[in-house]
């Protein structure tokens, strides 16, 4: 005998275009959605969806089935909502992708004040774009836009890549070199400093160096630490320099623990975007997250 939940799951997959989207709509696990779909396909004896560009596309038989059941299932869902007695509304959950340092600087302290659940995912930007498109993530903070048709990107901030140093770093000689435009002298001064870097690929350092000196950095950092936040904490206690996005050191700079050493002759800027799906059931929650970022970064 067919299980009516199979039809409801089928309807959710058809309308969201993904197993993840259906799972979020129905508040069930993705494996459960997969099981319902495979059970229904076995029952009717043919495929209901084909995979295409990370989405599930209905087959012709699937379209026919949807037209048969969508009105009836919709009425059952209306009845369920009307007669269900609940003492507490469901607390929504959204998933957000961003880099670790951006989370620490902006959102971390606000989590206890939010009226909804948040799952934070750290990762590489291409992976985040794919996860946003497939429904695994509801929002991302990214310096790179994708070309997926179902996504939209809103620019909200420009970060500048700069050289910062600890408050005890003596920069008087550097300032003289900058005033005279001595690029070779600046290059040599920077190379003699104590450098901090991360365990990652240090893409910002390479871009900054190539933009200002036309070469790759021909030295290794003296200290390799887990992330950019660690660099800022280390620098605030003494001497040394590092290349980081300027907004990450804003609070420490205002407190006098960090100083701006050099912006470069050819400044590098990254535009940060809010990435979201064009169709989302979490527009209110996403708006709240955007407000927090705008407050903290602008």
Specify the 3-state DSSP secondary structure of 225: strand
| 87 confidence band (pLDDT: 50, 70, 90) | very low
Same domain, 68 and 18: yes
C-beta of residue 92 within 8 angstroms of C-beta of residue 282:
yes
pLDDT at 60 over 70: yes
**What are the DSSP calls for 199-223, one per residue?**
SS--HHHHHHHHHHHSS---S--SE
- Chain-centroid distance of CA 191 in Å reads 33
> DSSP E strands: which ranges in the chain?
49-52, 55-58, 93-97, 117-121, 139-142, 151-166, 196-198, 223-225, 241-245, 258-262, 268-277
Q: Is residue 242 part of a domain?
A: yes
Same domain, 129 and 185: no
Q: What percent of the chain has pLDDT over 90?
A: 47
Strand partners for 117 = 93
Same domain, 148 and 167: no
pLDDT at 86 over 60: no
pLDDT at 162 over 90: yes
| 231 confidence band (pLDDT: 50, 70, 90) | very high
Same domain, 285 and 234: no
Report the alpha-carbon distance of residue 295 to residue 298 in Å, rounded.
Answer: 6
Convert the pLDDT of each residue in 62-78 to its tens digit.
Answer: 898 989 888 888 888 77
Give the model's pLDDT for residue 165: 95
pLDDT at 46 over 80: yes
Stretch 229-241: mean pLDDT? 90
pLDDT at 85 over 60: no
Same domain, 22 and 109: no
Tokens of 293: 């970022």
CATH code, 242: 3.40.190.10
Give the model's pLDDT for residue 28: 77
Report the alpha-carbon distance of residue 249 to residue 163 in Å, rounded.
Answer: 11
pLDDT at 252 over 70: yes
Give the model's pLDDT for residue 89: 56
Domain total in the chain: 3
Same domain, 146 and 197: no
Stretch 88-92: mean pLDDT? 69
Report the alpha-carbon distance of residue 255 to residue 259 in Å, rounded.
Answer: 10
pLDDT at 186 over 50: yes
pTM over 0.75: no
Is the pLDDT higher at 187 or at 134? 187
pLDDT at 259 over 90: yes
CATH code, 36: 1.10.10.10
Is the pLDDT higher at 85 or at 26? 26
Convert the pLDDT of each residue in 188-209 to its tens digit.
Answer: 999 999 999 987 667 889 999 9
Q: The domain containing residue 66 runs over which residues?
A: 4-83
Q: Is residue 88 part of a domain?
A: no
């Amino acid at each position: 005998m067919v299980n009516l939940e199979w039809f409801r799951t089928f309807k959710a997959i058809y309308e969201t275009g993904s197993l993840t989207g259906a799972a979020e709509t129905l508040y069930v696990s993705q494996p459960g959605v997969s099981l319902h779909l495979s059970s229904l396909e076995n029952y009717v004896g043919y495929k209901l969806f084909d995979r295409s560009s990370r989405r599930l596309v209905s087959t012709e038989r699937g379209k026919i089935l949807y037209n048969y059941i969508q009105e009836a299932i919709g009425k059952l869902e209306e009845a369920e909502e009307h007669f269900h007695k609940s003492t507490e509304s469901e607390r929504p959950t959204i998933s957000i992708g961003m880099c670790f340092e951006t989370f620490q600087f902006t959102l971390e302290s606000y989590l206890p004040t939010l009226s909804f659940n948040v799952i934070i995912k750290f990762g590489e930007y291409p992976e985040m774009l794919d996860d946003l498109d497939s429904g695994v993530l509801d929002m991302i903070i990214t310096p790179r836009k994708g070309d997926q048709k179902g996504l939209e990107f809103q620019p909200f901030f420009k970060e500048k890549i700069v050289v910062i140093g600890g408050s005890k770093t003596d920069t008087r000689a550097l300032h003289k070199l900058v005033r005279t435009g001595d690029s070779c002298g600046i290059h040599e001064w920077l190379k003699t400093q104590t450098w901090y870097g991360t365990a990652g690929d240090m893409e910002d350092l390479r871009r900054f160096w190539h933009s200002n000196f036309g070469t790759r950095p021909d030295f290794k950092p003296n200290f390799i630490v887990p992330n950019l936040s660690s660099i800022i904490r280390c620098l605030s206690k003494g001497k040394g320099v590092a290349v980081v996005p300027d907004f990450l050191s804003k609070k420490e700079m205002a407190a006098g623990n960090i100083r701006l050493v050099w912006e470069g002759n050819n400044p590098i800027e990254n535009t940060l975007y809010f990435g979201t799906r064009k169709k989302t059931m979490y527009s209110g929650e996403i708006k709240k997250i955007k407000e927090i970022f705008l407050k903290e970064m602008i």
